């Protein structure tokens, strides 16, 4: 703590005292200053208000709960506005792009339901990728004679036996189901624009245009979700950074100048001389 004392000696006080004290002045400035001060000291107060310290912990807690709140508490208003603006922008971005991702997901799932058929994929695989001996093991691949309803467990067993197939199709409606049919060329044969006369199709032959288009739809949805996830990361980071900054800002606030004042006196030639003392205190 460093204290700086500024001593101001006021010898000319006649013009600040009530006029009805003229009769007691002696003409000696030392005596008169003493008499005047003693007659008026109870009538004047020195009102220099010190700046109170603020809680560093509270400011950090406030900003962790709501970015910018701790800075506002520490009276750093421009930083409070900055952190709060980042929070609002990040939340808005996250909500907007998450909704976009949901809408895009619903769109590409509907597209897949209309244009990709597990029955077509299963039938082509059974007809073209199994030996006659293997086919005997999967005669119950379909529940119906029309071969439109697939026994999923049998399908997965068949996929594991086919050379060149790297995946077993996830259950219908799962997120992995919609990912697989537009990601792995193994499932290309289920798209409605695949030519069933192509009985020799095998990876890595080109996929159909609907396969490619569907993959692009999924990619767009993933991009939207990626932006939303980034916004969430920014929100979390904003809370942490604002809390740290609020603690630092409040600490600096508490290091500001504190001012106090008092009335002191000195003895000169056996005379009491009163003077104001201004105390400036710096906290480092």
pLDDT at res. 31: 54
Query: The pTM is what?
Result: 0.69
Q: Is residue 45 part of a domain?
A: yes
Edge-to-edge strands, sheet with 258-268: 2-7, 271-282, 258-268
Q: Is residue 159 part of a domain?
A: yes
Q: Which pLDDT tens digit goes with each residue over 23-66? A: 455 555 555 555 555 554 444 444 444 557 899 999 999 999 99
Q: Is residue 141 part of a domain?
A: yes
pLDDT at res. 116: 97
Helix pair angle (77-115, 209-254), 10° resolution:
160
pLDDT at res. 53: 84
Q: Is residue 240 part of a domain?
A: no
Among 155, 172, 189, residue at a domain's last position: 172
The contacts of residue 247 (CB under 8 Å, 6+ apart) are 56, 57, 59, 60, 70
Q: Which domain holds residue 272?
A: 2-51+256-282
Whether residue 70 is preceded by a cis peptide bond, meaning omega within 30 degrees of 0, is no
Q: Is residue 94 part of a domain?
A: no
pLDDT at res. 164: 86
DSSP 267: E
Q: Is residue 121 part of a domain?
A: yes
Q: Is residue 142 part of a domain?
A: yes
Q: Which pLDDT tens digit goes with each residue over 168-177? A: 999 999 999 9
DSSP H helix total and E strand total for the chain: 9, 3
Residue stretches of the chain with pLDDT short of 50: 1-23, 40-49
Start-to-end CA span in the chain (Å): 7
Among 172, 192, 213, residue at a domain's last position: 172
């Amino acid at each position: 703590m460093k204290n700086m004392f500024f001593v101001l000696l006021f010898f000319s006080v006649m013009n600040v005292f009530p006029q009805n004290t003229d009769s007691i002045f002696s003409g000696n400035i030392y005596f008169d200053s003493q008499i005047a001060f003693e007659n008026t000291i109870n009538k004047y107060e020195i009102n220099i208000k010190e700046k109170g310290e603020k809680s560093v912990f509270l400011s950090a807690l406030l900003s962790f709960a709501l970015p910018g709140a701790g800075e506002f508490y520490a009276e750093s208003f421009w930083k409070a506005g900055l952190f709060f603006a980042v929070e609002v922008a990040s939340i808005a971005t996250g909500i907007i792009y998450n909704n976009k991702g949901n809408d895009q997901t619903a769109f590409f799932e509907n597209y897949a339901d209309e244009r990709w058929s597990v029955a077509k994929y299963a039938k082509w695989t059974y007809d073209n990728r199994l030996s006659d001996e293997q086919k005997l093991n999967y005669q119950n691949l379909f529940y119906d004679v029309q071969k439109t309803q697939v026994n999923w467990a049998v399908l997965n067993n068949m996929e594991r036996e086919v050379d060149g197939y790297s995946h077993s199709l996830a259950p219908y409606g799962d997120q992995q189901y919609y990912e697989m049919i537009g990601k792995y060329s193994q499932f290309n044969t289920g798209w409605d624009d695949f030519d069933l006369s192509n009985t020799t199709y095998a990876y890595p032959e080109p996929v159909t245009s609907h396969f490619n288009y569907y993959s692009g739809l999924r990619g767009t949805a993933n991009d939207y979700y990626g932006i939303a996830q980034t916004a969430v990361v920014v929100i979390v980071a904003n809370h942490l950074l604002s809390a740290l900054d609020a603690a630092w800002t409040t600490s600096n606030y508490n290091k500001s100048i504190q001012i106090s004042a008092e009335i002191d006196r000195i003895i000169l030639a056996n005379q009491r001389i009163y003077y104001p003392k201004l105390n400036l205190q710096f906290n480092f």
